[in-house]
Amino acid sequence: MKLYVTRHGETPMNAAHRVCGLTNIDLTEKGIAQAKEAGRSLQDKGIKRIIASPLLRAQHTARLIADEIGIDTIETEQRLIEQNYGIYENTDWDGKAFNANKREFAVRYPGGESMLDLAGRLYPLLSKLKAENGPTTLLVCHGGICRMIRTYFLDVKNTDYAAFKLPNCGIMEFDL
């Protein structure tokens, strides 16, 4: 089974370089254009199923992509919701403490989730999709989720994990 994964389009918090976890925010005009372009780039990939995070920015991105590739139904999956960054929500994404915490897999963001917590909810979803061996699928989610999904397929050192950032509407492709 072929699996595509994309991050939502740009939001006002992304444009301001702010950590955006559970804040339910919509796309900017640039984000809308990014999502439409992602949809056009996915038209010939044979995607038959779209599963998206319940957050508005991912749902909006998924709808714009679905319109471009001709899919009517978007499934919503709670496990694709962005990581809970706790006290770092709406802080500068280049912040020293935030980035130090990102390199500590077993340490929760104060008031939020650890990377192990995140893997604990995402890996079972990916294993379920693998066992189903269904149609070519697109997951529409968030930067932190994309970062963790990548570790399901690749061995990634903590420092490389922390440094990885999929651009808005960037697309990853995996064989599941």
Are the C-beta atoms of residues 5 and 139 closer than 8 Å to each other? yes
- Catalytic one of 8, 60, 89, 142: 8
pLDDT bucket at 2, cuts 50 / 70 / 90:
very high
pLDDT bucket at 172, cuts 50 / 70 / 90:
very high
- Catalytic one of 17, 75, 77, 82: 82
The yes-or-no answer on residue 82 being catalytic is: yes
Nearest to 45 by CA among 135, 150, 145, 168: 135
Mean pLDDT value of segment 6-21: 98
Are the C-beta atoms of residues 43 and 66 closer than 8 Å to each other? no
Query: The whole model's pTM is what?
Result: 0.97
Compute the radius of gyration of the chain from its Cα atoms: 15
pLDDT of residue 127: 98
Mean pLDDT value of segment 75-99: 97
Mean pLDDT value of segment 89-114: 95
pLDDT bucket at 62, cuts 50 / 70 / 90:
very high
